[in-house]
Amino acid sequence: MVDYRKLVAEAAKAKENAYVPYSQFRVGAAILTDKGQIFTGCNIENSSFGLTICAERTALFKAVSAGHRKFQALAVSTDTEEITSPCGACRQVLIEFGEDIEIIMANVYGDYQVFTVGELLPLAFKPEKLKEERLT
């Protein structure tokens, strides 16, 4: 059983390290591996705006670069009253590691909603596609 509240709390803590001089929009994320380990991340902006990385990808890349490949859930926390759902780029990067990863989206009060990555990115381009027979 995934402890959603704990993962949300970790994401909220990670949010404190957000580097957001341009948007002031802090985001924190926490990803739970299949083995129960948690990696956290925040958004890191850049004066060359397109180089900004989202909190979700920071957390995922930290986990992958530490050798993990299977994930149970990822929580994302923002300072807004409405929940924030991961951007399209993050959805694509997350679905590479499985459509069943649960995404826990939390608002500033810690209230949350849960959807799987597959629900957030229907008809996704997936790694299996590259293994399919091609006709030309």
Q: Please report, for residues 23, 51, 74, 106, 120, the alpha-carbon distance to residue 115 in angstroms, rounded to integers and kept in the order given.
A: 26, 27, 10, 12, 7
Residue 56 a catalytic site member: yes
Q: Which residues contact 96 (CB under 8 A, 6 or more apart)?
A: 126, 127
Report if residue 125 touches ligand THU, rule: CB under 6 A. Answer: no
Q: Which of 45, 96 has the CB closer to ligand THU?
A: 45
**How many residues belong to the chain?**
136
Three-state secondary-structure class, residue 42: strand
Query: Does 63 engage in binding with ligand THU (CB under 6 A)?
Result: no
Span from 62-70, 85-93, 108-116, 126-134 in contact with ligand THU (CB under 6 A): 85-93
- List the one residue from 2, 4, 52, 98 that touches ligand THU (CB under 6 A): 52
Interface mask toward ligand THU for 65-84; x: CB under 6 A: -------------------x
Amino acid at 26: R
- Token duo for residue 86: 């991961």
Interacting residues with ligand THU (CB under 6 A)? 20, 23, 25, 27, 43, 45, 52, 54-56, 84, 86-87, 90
